[in-house]
């Protein structure tokens, strides 16, 4: 059964190829059958493989299959091969299953769009590329998937290309992530030249054998890989592309944020965690970047009024949690949060899409309101997603994953409770901003009339993801609440045993974290549900308004980068419009042309002149040869 692993990425790829060859001429029913069916099939195969893997684990708890060798240049022969271990298994399951729900949803959401088949072609390619990324045995093959994901995100963010703003957002996403990709590529070169292989497992082994911890080489390599991860996962300072990526259709956002793309960075660091363990300084940097991103993005999310941008900033912030966990060495906590985040973030985006779809694509939360009664399915699923994101205690999956990260941060960061504090403050802010959205969107007066309806292909994914967002966390609970460790046990063969945190202090911190998220929800209720006039007046004072505008623009990062990078670059381009290098070649061309002007006078067409020149030439030649 495990040998069928190659089918998992191959089937969506085949679907994409068929849809691309179909050139949009296929009937839309066939398109949705191919588009959704291929990912469904791949999800089914992935599930069977997982069952097989768990019931009869292969030797070493890892399975490798090499399909063929890409090329062979001396000792360098990268393989097209897949590597399945508990880590890639979880990633594969999340990508295929969440991907299937999102595709099922979009088969109805995108119905009637003129690019219906193009959409599914891109989405299938996206899923295929992500599966290649998570299953690759070789860093080079992983890089191929990495670039494929980047390409598909570009295509999908700019899906409605008639609007130039969407094209701009797509290019921004592509260029900003490309900065990270360049770092990753240099990192791969460095690893290959020093360790002589790009196959991940031997590479990690050789790194630990030949490089002492904390030396320059692993630090440099880890920094370069980290740059790649930051770009893809939209962490500070390369986070600016993600909010703009909301230009794409909502299911695209769901796919980018939940299953594919932005979690690639988290996966990459988890995959190469041995390298990061060799570079403690870089690992610390991962944690600090995560913590900073957490806070920055949460504050920005608090001031957005586009429902999708709120979710975008919340994704940046939540991935900050994963980076924080990676930074403190809680690898399995990061992957656990990735999984749970995939559940609730896909749910939130799909619910938001279901709302905007019924409101004539109105995205402004202040023009929504009172939707709880009118759209019960969307309300309950958004509410469950929000509760899970806010980590409401006990019943939501988000609670368990966030708790795992926070306790690991405390355990590791005893020296540096700053990181833990950032996590807890963000937990409060997260709860505040998402319940702000919930109260504004679903309660109060109806501001935009609701129209249309949605069918089972929209409600079914919402219900399924709601269930996952609620119960998905019970595979791993803290010591004080049953102490189930299915998830970290499963990942133990990849990351080693996670330390168990117990004791009354741990329980106390657990209680504090739960109270913090409840307090956030409570504050949101007090501020936005009851809408006290004092708060409204305070929010409208000039100083506060200035801050709010500043946070609304995402801490002015866009303006900063425009001033620092974009505008100088454009100025140089303008100066160099005629390309200085071209002048060199223009001089050559000019010389040729002048020589031509001069010589063409001799071409008179008069045969006597030619004969004369011929005679003169012969005379000179003979004279030279005789007189020599």
By CB under 8 A, which span of 3-11, 42-50, 455-463, 603-611 interacts with other proteins? 603-611
CB of 627 to other proteins, least distance (A): 17
CB of 605 to other proteins, least distance (A): 3
Q: Report yes or no: 155 and 169 within 8 Å, Cβ to Cβ.
A: no
**Among the listed residues 605, 625, 627, 628, the single contact to other proteins using CB under 8 A:** 605
Say whether residue 542 binds other proteins (CB under 8 A): no
Say whether residue 25 binds other proteins (CB under 8 A): no
- Separation CA 202–CA 225 (nearest Å): 17
Helix, strand, coil % over all residues of the chain, rounded to 5: 75, 5, 20
Say whether residue 54 binds other proteins (CB under 8 A): no
Say whether residue 586 binds other proteins (CB under 8 A): no
Q: Write the burial class of residue 628 (CB in 10 Å: 0-12 exposed, 13-18 middle, 19+ buried).
A: exposed
By CB under 8 A, which span of 213-221, 395-403, 570-578, 610-618 interacts with other proteins? 610-618
Say whether residue 611 binds other proteins (CB under 8 A): yes
By CB under 8 A, which span of 306-314, 433-441, 548-556, 604-612 interacts with other proteins? 604-612
CB of 586 to other proteins, least distance (A): 24
CB of 606 to other proteins, least distance (A): 5
**Among the listed residues 56, 602, 625, 628, the single contact to other proteins using CB under 8 A:** 602
Say whether residue 415 binds other proteins (CB under 8 A): no
Task: Give the nearer residue to other proteins in terms of CB position, either 3 or 593.
Answer: 593
Say whether residue 499 binds other proteins (CB under 8 A): no
How large is the angle between the packed helices 417-442 and 376-389, nearest 10 degrees? 170
Residue 555 gets which letter from DSSP? T
By CB under 8 A, which span of 118-126, 145-153, 357-365, 594-602 interacts with other proteins? 594-602
Task: Give the nearer residue to other proteins in terms of CB position, either 581 or 607.
Answer: 607
Q: Is 113 helix (H, G, I), strand (E, B) or coil?
A: coil
CB of 594 to other proteins, least distance (A): 15
Q: Which of residues 95-134 bind other proteins (CB under 8 A)?
A: none
* Contact code string over 367-396 relative to other proteins, x by CB under 8 A: ------------------------------
User: What is the Cβ-side half-sphere exposure of residue 329, based on CA atoms within 13 angstroms?
Assistant: 17
**Among the listed residues 601, 624, 625, 628, the single contact to other proteins using CB under 8 A:** 601
- Separation CA 558–CA 566 (nearest Å): 10
Phi, psi of 78 (to 5 degrees): -65, 140
Task: Give the nearer residue to other proteins in terms of CB position, either 212 or 617.
Answer: 617
Say whether residue 612 binds other proteins (CB under 8 A): yes
Neighbouring-strand partners of residue 84: 63
Task: Give the nearer residue to other proteins in terms of CB position, either 505 or 611.
Answer: 611
Among candidates 442, 434, 432, which has minimal Cα distance to 523? 432
- Separation CA 277–CA 329 (nearest Å): 8
Tokens 């994963």 found at? 322
Phi, psi of 569 (to 5 degrees): -60, -45
- Separation CA 176–CA 180 (nearest Å): 7
Q: Report yes or no: 200 and 138 within 8 Å, Cβ to Cβ.
A: yes
Say whether residue 534 binds other proteins (CB under 8 A): no
Task: Give the nearer residue to other proteins in terms of CB position, either 209 or 603.
Answer: 603
Neighbouring-strand partners of residue 199: 138
Phi, psi of 53 (to 5 degrees): -65, -40
CB of 597 to other proteins, least distance (A): 10
Task: Give the nearer residue to other proteins in terms of CB position, either 456 or 612.
Answer: 612
Say whether residue 626 binds other proteins (CB under 8 A): no
CB of 609 to other proteins, least distance (A): 9
**Among the listed residues 23, 446, 615, 623, the single contact to other proteins using CB under 8 A:** 615
3-state per-residue secondary structure call for 391-432: CCCCCCHHHHHHHHHHHHHHHHCCCCHHHHHHHHHHHHHHHH
Say whether residue 607 binds other proteins (CB under 8 A): yes
Among candidates 151, 161, 217, 229, which has minimal Cα distance to 190? 217
Instruction: State the number of binding residues for other proteins (CB under 8 A).
Output: 12
CB of 619 to other proteins, least distance (A): 10
**Among the listed residues 209, 451, 603, 628, the single contact to other proteins using CB under 8 A:** 603
Task: Give the nearer residue to other proteins in terms of CB position, either 504 or 603.
Answer: 603
- Separation CA 502–CA 72 (nearest Å): 52
3-state per-residue secondary structure call for 422-474: HHHHHHHHHHHHHHHHHHHHHCCCCCCCCCCCCCHHHHHHHHHHHHHHHHHHH
Task: Give the nearer residue to other proteins in terms of CB position, either 603 or 628.
Answer: 603
Say whether residue 210 binds other proteins (CB under 8 A): no
Say whether residue 621 binds other proteins (CB under 8 A): no
Say whether residue 604 binds other proteins (CB under 8 A): yes
Say whether residue 608 binds other proteins (CB under 8 A): yes
Q: Report yes or no: 250 and 110 within 8 Å, Cβ to Cβ.
A: no
By CB under 8 A, which span of 13-21, 248-256, 402-410, 599-607 interacts with other proteins? 599-607
Task: Give the nearer residue to other proteins in terms of CB position, either 453 or 608.
Answer: 608
Q: Is 321 helix (H, G, I), strand (E, B) or coil?
A: helix
- Separation CA 156–CA 161 (nearest Å): 9
Q: Report yes or no: 444 and 547 within 8 Å, Cβ to Cβ.
A: no
CB of 601 to other proteins, least distance (A): 7
**Among the listed residues 530, 533, 606, 628, the single contact to other proteins using CB under 8 A:** 606
- The CA-CA-CA angle for residues 541, 543, 544, to 5°, reads 70
Task: Give the nearer residue to other proteins in terms of CB position, either 55 or 601.
Answer: 601
| Concatenated DSSP letters of 172-216 | HHHHHHHHHHHHHHHHHHHHHHHHS--BHHHHHHHHHHHS-TT-H
**Site residues (vs other proteins, CB under 8 A):** 600-608, 611-612, 615
């Amino acid at each position: 059964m495990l040998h069928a692993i190659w089918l998992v990425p191959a089937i969506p790829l085949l679907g994409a190829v068929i849809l691309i060859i179909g050139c949009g001429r296929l009937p839309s029913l066939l398109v949705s059958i191919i588009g959704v069916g291929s990912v469904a099939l791949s999800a089914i195969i992935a599930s069977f493989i997982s069952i097989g893997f768990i019931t009869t684990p292969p030797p070493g708890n890892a399975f490798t299959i090499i399909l063929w060798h890409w090329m062979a240049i001396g000792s360098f022969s990268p393989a097209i091969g897949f590597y399945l271990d508990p880590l890639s298994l979880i990633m594969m399951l999340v990508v295929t299953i969440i991907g299937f729900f999102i595709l099922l949803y979009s088969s109805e959401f995108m119905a009637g769009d003129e690019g219906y088949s193009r959409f599914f072609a891109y989405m299938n390619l996206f899923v295929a590329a992500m599966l290649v990324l998570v299953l690759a045995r070789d860093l080079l093959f992983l890089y191929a998937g990495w670039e494929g994901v980047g390409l598909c995100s570009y295509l999908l963010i700019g899906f409605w290309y008639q609007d130039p703003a969407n094209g701009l957002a797509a290019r921004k996403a592509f260029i900003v992530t490309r900065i990270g990709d360049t770092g990753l590529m240099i990192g791969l070169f460095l690893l290959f030249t020093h360790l002589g292989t790009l196959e991940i497992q031997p590479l990690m082994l050789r790194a630990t054998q030949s490089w002492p911890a904390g030396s320059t080489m692993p630090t440099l390599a880890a920094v370069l890989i980290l740059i790649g991860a930051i770009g893809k996962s939209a962490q500070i300072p390369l986070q600016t592309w993600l909010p703009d990526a909301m230009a794409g259709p909502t299911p695209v956002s769901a796919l980018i944020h939940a299953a594919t793309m932005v979690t690639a960075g988290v996966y990459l660091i988890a995959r190469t965690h041995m390298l990061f363990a060799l570079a403690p300084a870089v690992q610390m940097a991962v944690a600090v970047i995560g913590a900073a991103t957490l806070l920055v993005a949460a504050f920005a999310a608090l001031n957005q009024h586009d429902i999708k941008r709120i979710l975008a900033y919340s994704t940046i912030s939540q991935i900050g949690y994963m980076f924080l966990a990676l930074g403190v060495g809680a690898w399995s906590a990061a992957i656990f949060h990735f999984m749970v985040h995939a559940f609730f973030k896909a749910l939130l985006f799909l619910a938001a899409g279901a709302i905007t779809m019924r409101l004539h694509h109105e995205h402004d939360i202040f023009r929504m309101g009172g939707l709880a009664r009118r759209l019960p399915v969307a309300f309950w699923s958004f509410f469950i997603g929000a509760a899970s994101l806010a980590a409401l205690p006990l019943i939501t999956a988000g609670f368990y994953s966030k708790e795992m990260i926070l306790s690991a941060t405390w355990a590791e960061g005893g020296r540096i409770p700053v990181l833990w504090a950032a996590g807890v403050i963000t937990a409060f802010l997260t709860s505040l901003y998402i319940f702000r959205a919930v109260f504004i969107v679903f309660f109060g007066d109806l501001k935009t009339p609701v129209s249309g309806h949605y069918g089972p292909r929209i409600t079914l994914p919402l219900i399924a993801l709601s269930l996952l967002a609620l119960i998905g966390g019970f595979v791993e609970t803290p010591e004080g609440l049953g102490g189930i460790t299915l998830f970290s046990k499963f990942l133990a063969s990849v990351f080693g045993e996670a330390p168990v945190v117990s004791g009354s202090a741990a329980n106390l911190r657990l209680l504090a974290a739960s109270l913090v998220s409840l307090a956030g929800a409570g504050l949101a209720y007090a501020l936005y549900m009851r809408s006290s006039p004092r708060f409204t007046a305070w929010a409208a004072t000039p100083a506060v308004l200035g801050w709010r505008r500043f946070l609304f623009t995402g801490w002015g990062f866009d303006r900063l980068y425009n001033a620092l990078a974009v505008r100088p670059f454009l100025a140089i381009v303008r100066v160099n419009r005629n390309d200085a290098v071209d002048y060199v070649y223009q001089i050559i061309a000019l010389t040729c042309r002048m020589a031509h002007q001069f010589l063409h006078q001799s071409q008179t067409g008069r045969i006597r002149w030619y004969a004369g020149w011929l005679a003169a030439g012969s005379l000179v030649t003979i004279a030279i040869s005789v007189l020599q």
